[in-house]
Structure 1
Amino acid sequence: MAGLASKLDKAFEELPLEELVNAPVASLQGVSDADAEHLKAAFGIVTVGDLGTNKFFLWAQSIVALAK
């Protein structure tokens, strides 16, 4: 988990990955509570796991990777 701490809010830096998947998306550095509400309203994203497995985000990542 080295290097992930800088990507998380302080309160979530020590969580094991198995718990971090269920942490609120606002636990990520730079994602505010307001941003989290917008993600929830637009895409049903509530947790870090939801964000990481969202089909639209995955499709966009695939397009970017294939375009390289």
Structure 2
Amino acid sequence: MAVSVGLSKALDKAWEDKSLADILGAPVSALAGVTEADAKKLEEAFGIKTVRDLGSNKYFATAGVLVALANHTD
């Protein structure tokens, strides 16, 4: 089953038509709103160079799970 996801608002214009594999290997600045300066700080602080690194970083992943859980509590 093919799945289509619109990511145009989440990505920098240059990355909108790229494959998922390309996006995951892209620098963090491929994400809309993340500047080169932001990307440099992420690399210096956490060793994050790519979108994949950011998404799989244990600190960011934990924070994402906590936010998701908070959105589903009574």
* Same topology, TM > 0.5: yes
Question: How large is the Cα RMSD of the aligned pairs?
Answer: 1.3
Q: CA deviation digits over 1:23-64, x for unaligned, max 9?
A: 000010000000000000111111000000000011112222
CA separation in 2, counterparts of 1:28 and 1:8? Answer: 4
1:2 maps onto 2:8 in alignment = no
Which position in structure 2 is the counterpart of 1:54? 57
Which position in structure 2 is the counterpart of 1:21? 24
Which consecutive residues of structure 2, in runs of 5 or more, have no partner in the other structure? none
1:30 maps onto 2:33 in alignment = yes
- Specify which structure has the higher proportion of helix: 1
The alignment-based identity, stated in percent, is 51
User: Could you tell me the TM-score, scaled by structure 1's length?
Assistant: 0.89
CA separation in 2, counterparts of 1:63 and 1:7? Answer: 21
Which structure has the larger Rg? 2
User: Could you tell me the TM-score, scaled by structure 2's length?
Assistant: 0.82
Q: Count the aligned residue pairs.
A: 68
Runs of 4+ in 1 over 3 A off after TM superposition: none
